[in-house]
Amino acid sequence: MRKIIAGLFISLDGVVEAPDQWHFPYFDDEMGAAVDATFGGVDTMLFGRKTYDSFAGAWPEREAAGGEDAAFAKALGDVRKIVVSHQPLAFTWRNSEQLRGDLVEAVTALKNEPGAAAIGMSGSVSVVRQLLAAGLLDELHLLVHPIAVRKGLRLFEEDGAPIPLKLISSETFRTGVLNLHYAPAEPPRQAGYDDAKTHLSPSDH
DSSP string, 59-104: HHHHHHHT-TTHHHHHHHHHSEEEEE-SS-----STTEEE--S-HH
Instruction: Round to whole Å and give the CA distance between 117 and 95.
Output: 17
pLDDT one-digit tens code per residue, 40-85: 889 999 999 999 999 999 999 999 999 998 998 999 999 999 999 9
Strand-pair category, 139-145 with 178-184 = antiparallel
Per-residue pLDDT of the chain (205 residues; tens, 9 = 90+): 999 999 999 999 999 999 999 999 999 999 999 999 999 889 999 999 999 999 999 999 999 999 998 998 999 999 999 999 999 999 999 999 999 999 999 999 999 999 899 999 999 999 999 999 999 999 999 999 999 999 999 999 888 788 999 999 999 999 999 999 999 999 888 888 887 888 887 765 5
At the topology level, CATH places domain 4-188 in Dihydrofolate Reductase, subunit A (3.40.430)
pLDDT one-digit tens code per residue, 150-164: 999 999 988 878 899
Q: pTM of the full predicted structure?
A: 0.92
CA Rg, the chain, in Å? Answer: 19
